[in-house]
Amino acid sequence: MIESLSIKNLRIVEALELSLSEGLNVVSGENGAGKTTVLEAVYLLARGKSFRHREVAPLVREGTDHLEVVGRFREGVGARHVLGTRRSRSDSLVRLDGRTKVKRSEILGLLPVQLVGADAAELVSGEPRLRRSFIDAGLFHVEPGHLKVLQRYQRTLDQRNRALREDRPEFRHWDDQLVDYGVTIDSARKRYLEELEEQIRSWLARWELGVSVDFHYRQGWAQTETLAQAVERLGATDRLQHFTSCGPHRADWVLVGATTRSGKTLSRGQLKMLVGACHLAQAEMLKERGRAVPVLLFDDLPSELDRGNRERLLAGIVDSYPQVLLTALAAEDLPINSGRLFHVEQGRLVP
């Protein structure tokens, strides 16, 4: 749980100190006031990057040369830590408990956060990459070893693709490794999804929204063959196209005909509830395994949802996550009776 947060020179924020509570924390304010910036600060601290920009330059407040975020947090009921990050256009420094020059790998998973961005529906309607990383991030919390396999797969894939780009026949050298790691990733994802999908269905049923969805995992190569057969068969194609055309990097998790019972396409609000259910399902799986449930960052929760759905979603969230940080244009838009409220104007806290 994050106990306090200090943000300096991040976008519109010059200096902002927040003392957070367990459970619900709500940041409200008008457009451009700095609400998403607060979530961005937490994400930057926990994951080492922003979810809005790849580069540092747009994040650093105009007229200044570096930003800084410091968070005090507790690992479950265990140790307390102080984690800080300082970024300039040319430099990046991470500090943990007074130690400087900490490597990113050292803090990986130390402060788990989960983000639902302002365009929540993207998870269903956006690029396959978003769904792959949703699954892999969820899996990483359940089976931390998954990340290593993914990294090894990616490295092998990069090497194979480089050889293909340079038209070197040695690209075949990487086939066995690609298949080994690929099969491990594929079966972990399938195991994970089986349980996740059941949890999602149960949230949708509980909410009685009349929304049903069929899930389909496309593994990234033909169902009728093994990955080894696909890699072997597609070698000639890969050579022509100069990239590896099959494997779990091409997978997708399709929420087939995310439709209402009558077969109609889901509305924006229904889609948002479905995405909410996907996240709640992940939290549920972690809870059942006694693992740390991430801090949930939910941008603009009330938008697109009617009162009833806001209540349903919020009740699920409060029940499933030990700590939540969410934003809304106005706190009155949220049916809440507990938690801490922060109102921001022009990047400043207003009492």
Ligand X SMILES: Nc1ncnc2c1ncn2[C@@H]1O[C@H](COP(=O)(O)OP(=O)(O)OP(=O)(O)O)[C@@H](O)[C@H]1O
From residue 62 to residue 101, what is the string marking binding to ligand X with x (rule CB under 6 A)?
A: x---------------------------------------
Residues 36-55, interacting with Mg ion (CB under 5 A): 36
Which is nearer to Mg ion, 79 or 341 (by Cβ)?
341
| Stretch touching ligand X by CB under 6 A, among 35-43, 121-129, 137-145, 302-310 | 35-43
225 contacts 298 by C-beta, under 8 angstroms? no
The site partner of 32 among Mg ion, ligand X, none (C-beta below 5 to 8 Å per kind) is ligand X
Q: Which helix (H) or strand (E) element contains residue 91?
A: none
The site partner of 144 among ligand X, Mg ion, none (C-beta below 5 to 8 Å per kind) is none
The site partner of 61 among Mg ion, ligand X, none (C-beta below 5 to 8 Å per kind) is ligand X
Using rule CB under 6 A, residue 28 touches ligand X: no
Q: How far is the CB of 133 from ligand X (least distance, A)?
A: 22
What percent of the residues of the chain are helix, what percent strand, and what percent coil, each to the nearest 5?
Answer: 45, 25, 30
Q: How far is the CB of 37 from ligand X (least distance, A)?
A: 3
Cα separation of 268 and 277, whole Å?
Answer: 14
The site partner of 11 among Mg ion, ligand X, none (C-beta below 5 to 8 Å per kind) is ligand X
| Stretch touching ligand X by CB under 6 A, among 25-33, 91-99, 216-224, 318-326 | 25-33
The site partner of 126 among Mg ion, ligand X, none (C-beta below 5 to 8 Å per kind) is none
Residues 1-20, interacting with ligand X (CB under 6 A): 11-12
Using rule CB under 6 A, residue 262 touches ligand X: no
Closest CA to 142 of 22, 276, 284: 284
Cα separation of 68 and 220, whole Å?
Answer: 41
E strand spans, 89-207: 92-96, 113-116
Residue nearest Mg ion, CB atom distance? 36
Cα separation of 102 and 95, whole Å?
Answer: 6
Q: How far is the CB of 36 from ligand X (least distance, A)?
A: 3
| Three-state secondary structure call for residue 300 | coil
Dihedral sign, CA of 119, 120, 126, 128? positive
26 contacts 340 by C-beta, under 8 angstroms? yes
- Strands 2-10 and 13-19, sheet pairing: antiparallel
Which is nearer to ligand X, 8 or 141 (by Cβ)?
8
Structure token digits, residue 341: 């409220």
**252 dihedral zone (left: phi>0; alpha: psi -120 to 50; beta):** beta
Provide the binding-site residues for ligand X, judged by CB under 6 A: 11-12, 29, 31-37, 58, 60-62
